[in-house]
Structure 1
Amino acid sequence: MSAPHGKAAAGSGQVRIVGGRWRNTRLQVPELPGLRPTSDRVRETLFNWLMPKLPGARVLDLFAGSGALGLEAVSRGAATAQLVERDPRLVAALRGVVERLDATTQVEVIAADAVQWLDSAAAAQADVVFLDPPFAAGLWEQVIARLPRHLAADAWLYVEAPVGAAPLLPPEWQLRREGSTREVAYALYRRAAATLRGDMNATEPA
C-alpha cells in the first residue's frame, strides 16, 4: 500500500474501514503518485479469512500506505499493530488517524524504510503480517528473507502482487487461501512450523 517507487495507480481521496469497532471510518488518502490502497472488496475477503486469528493478534503492516490493513485488523480485534511507512506525508496522515481514533496505545506508526527497519528493529513475534510493497520495486524477496526473526512460529502472511507476477515464497510458507481481481493477486500463507506442531486445524481460517 506504500506510495514510493510507482505502484499501479494513484491514490484518490478516501478509503474506509469495512468492519469492526471503527466500521465505516473514512481514512484520508493523500494524492500521491503510485499510492494504491487495497480495495474494500479485497480487504473484506482477507479479513473474513483471518477472523479466527485476529483476536489478540500482534500485527505488522509493512509499506502501510493509507494504513487500511493494519487499522482494519485492530478494528476487528487485533491487540496491536505496527504500521511501517517511509513517506513523510503518509506518516503524518497515519499519525493523525491514530490520534483521531484514540488508538495510540494499540497502533504504532513507524517512519522508516521497511527493509532497513526489518534489519535494525529488535526481534519481535508478530502473528499477522501484511506485505503489499510497491509493485515496481521488486521488494518481496528482500522483505520475506528478513521476516523470520520478527514472526511468531505460527504467523500468517498476506501478500498482494500484480496478477501473473506473484512472488515465490520459501518452503516454510504454505499457501492457505488466494484470490485475484483484474489488477492484483492476493494470497494468505501460514508458516510451516504450525503444521509441524500439528495445531493447524485449531486455528485455520474458514
Structure 2
Amino acid sequence: MRIIAGEFRGLALASVGKGDAGAHLRPTTDRVRESLFSVLTAGKYGDAVEDARVLDLFAGTGALGLEALSRGAECVTFVDDGRKAQSLITENIGKCRAEARCDLMRMDATRLPMNPSEPYDLIFLDPPYTKGLGEVAIAAAIAGNWLTKRALVVWEDSAEITPPDALTLLDTRKYGDTKINFLEPK
C-alpha cells in the first residue's frame, strides 16, 4: 500500500498484509484508491480534494485521508476505535510527517459527538462491509454537524446502501466487489 500521487507520492504506508479480519481492517486497494481519486480530482465533482477539510470515518490505516492530504486537502480528522487501526494511522501520519494537519479521534464512528470545530467538506465512510454501520455513522455525522452544506460523502461498501433522507445519492461506481457511492446533502 502506497500513496499514489501528490506531496507524498510513492510513500509506502504501514502494511496490514491481506487485511486483519479480527480488527476488521480491509484496506482500499491502490487500484480502487487511484480510480476514486481520479473521480474526486478531475471528475464531475471538480476538485473535491483541494483545500478540503476531510473526515475519514472507520479510517482503518488512514490511507484514504492521507491520499487526500497528499493531493492538497487542508487537514484530515481520522475516526476509528480499533487499537490496531489507531496504531497504523499514527504510524502512517508519522511516515508522512503530517502531524500538524491530522487529528485522530479514538472512538466509535457510529457515536460521534457534536462537532467541536468547523464542519468537513469531504467525508470518507468505509465501514466494515454489510453490517449497516455506515448508515448509523453518517446519521451521527449529520446530527453532530460534521458536514458542510456542500459536503461530498464517499461511502464504500460491498452491498447496497440506504442513505439517510438528508443525503442524495449522486452516483455509484463498482470495482470488483467494492461499490463506491457518492452522496451530497439535500
Q: TM-score, normalised by structure 1?
A: 0.78
Question: Is 1:67 aligned with 2:62?
Answer: yes
SS in 2 for 1:53: coil
Out of 86, 103, 108, which is 1:91 matched to? 86
CA distance, structure 1, for counterparts of residue 89 and residue 152 of structure 2: 24
After TM superposition, give the deviation of residue 19 of structure 1 in Å.
1.2
CA distance, structure 1, for counterparts of residue 151 and residue 93 of structure 2: 25
Structure 2 gaps, min length 5: 42-46
Out of 169, 180, 189, which is 2:163 matched to? 169
SS in 2 for 1:27: coil
CA distance, structure 2, for counterparts of residue 176 and residue 141 of structure 1: 16
Aligned letter for 2:179?
Answer: A
Q: TM-score, normalised by structure 2?
A: 0.86
Query: Runs of 4+ in structure 1 displaced over 3 angstroms?
Result: none
CA distance, structure 2, for counterparts of residue 120 and residue 190 of structure 1: 20
Aligned residue number for residue 177 of structure 2: 183
Is the contact made by 2:62 and 2:88 (CA closer than 8 Å) also made in structure 1? no
Aligned residue number for residue 126 of structure 2: 132
Is the contact made by 2:25 and 2:85 (CA closer than 8 Å) also made in structure 1? no
Is the contact made by 1:173 and 1:189 (CA closer than 8 Å) also made in structure 2? yes
Larger radius of gyration: 1
SS in 1 for 2:182: strand
Count of equivalent residues: 175
Structure 1 gaps, min length 5: 1-14, 193-206
Question: Is 1:154 aligned with 2:140?
Answer: no
CA distance, structure 1, for counterparts of residue 176 and residue 96 of structure 2: 33
Aligned letter for 1:22?
Answer: F
RMSD (CA atoms): 1.7
Aligned residue number for residue 203 of structure 1: none
Partner deviation per Cα, 1:134-189 (whole Å, 9 max, x = no partner):
11432122112112211111000001111xx2212134322333211221111111
Out of 25, 30, 38, which is 1:40 matched to? 30
Identity percentage over the alignment?
34
